[in-house]
Homo-oligomer: A and B are copies of this chain.
């Protein structure tokens, strides 16, 4: 029997990598004053059909449950967030700064490196319309990647403003019902042949290509880039009105993070979705909002790609895995004494391990080394004294068994 196609098993090494990524996500989000929340992995399909636009619904991992409900494994968090905020916003002071780490799903044809599940960090700010919130959010996305040791040589945040385009459309008297299709075409323009984009843009192809080429960005986008510059983050960002983002619900600033080498898919993406909460609450509540998501797969690929970030990860994982004490039971008559002390060590919070069954002393030391034990404590002929061996330096000392805890408190 195997796991389902597109679903990963996290063996201990994989799980340690995943937890390394989660820990940095959580750590930096909290430095920014974001608080953690989480939604359910299964939602009513309706929640996504209404709000997310075409592509994501085609790829939904959806089904009918035993109670005849149309349900879906969540493809993204934002609709859940809007649902939860619409129900509970009165309980919280605005703005909310919330983050969440969870697993998301899509059903699509299997391709190299395309999974049917991945983990995402989602960070959102609810209830603040000022551009200061957009700056804060983009800065957070940058600092999270910096926490892995990534630098401005490794990644760039490409930032755009949907209003640049809606203003542009208004200026050209383009009817509003065409806007979505035009935005989708602009979004795909860097990935598709120019002719194909031109066909989709029709009579607007020339002015849109000119705008894309001109490097114009509009006042708001300029102000946002300046704000990031004031924080010393200018080298991490580039204004690029060619970025639009596929999801239908974005309304203002949108951004995507890419590796500089252009080797991977987007590392993260997000933007403003000021109308979504209003839509989901049928207009009873209106709150400006913005957020981004970052997936574990691409972040992991990028960390692996760059020697210094890969080594930093490996070192952190190796350190985190270490145990404190390995008890070497050299004489089986001492097993009960050793176990009583292991119980005490664990009670004090030490990571302590020992051989479950009689084992040769040499193999026990090897186990201690394999587990990264900082010291080995040998229970043998010396009892009621024990021998402490520093596994780093090889130094050994004898201490009275009943002084072991005191001595370890000094050593560890």
Contacts and interface: CB of A to CB of B under 8 A. Distances in A.
Interface string A1-32: 11111011111101110110000000110111
Nearest to A81: B9
A44 B1 contact: yes
A350 B31 contact: yes
Nearest to A136: B356
A12 B61 contact: no
Interface string A329-367: 000000010011001001101111100110000000001
Contacts of A3: 39-40, 43, 83
Contacts of A1: 44, 46-47, 83, 86, 280
How many chain copies does the complex carry?
2
A66 interface: yes
A37 B65 contact: no
A58 B42 CA distance: 20
Interface in A76-126: 80, 83-84, 86-88, 91, 93, 95, 98, 103, 105, 107, 117
Contact of A63 (B63, B83, B346): B63
Interface residues of A, number: 88
A36 B11 contact: no
A38 interface: yes
Given A9-B40, A67-B107, A232-B340, 10 more contacts: A3-B43, A4-B43, A7-B40, A8-B40, A11-B91, A15-B35, A32-B346, A33-B351, A128-B356, A231-B343
A289 interface: no
A330 to B, nearest CB: 17
Contacts of A128: 356-357
Contacts of A33: 323, 351-353, 371
Nearest to A281: B1
A225 to B, nearest CB: 15
A69 interface: yes
A211 interface: no
A18 B39 CA distance: 12
A406 interface: no
A20 to B, nearest CB: 12
A87 B232 CA distance: 49
8 contacts: A1-B47, A1-B280, A9-B38, A12-B37, A42-B105, A130-B357, A230-B339, A233-B343
A87 B231 CA distance: 50
Given A64-B63, A230-B340, A343-B232, A132 B356 contact: yes
A18 B38 contact: yes
Sorted nearest first, the 6 A-B pairs with minimum C-beta distance are: A33-B353, A7-B40, A63-B63, A10-B38, A132-B356, A231-B343
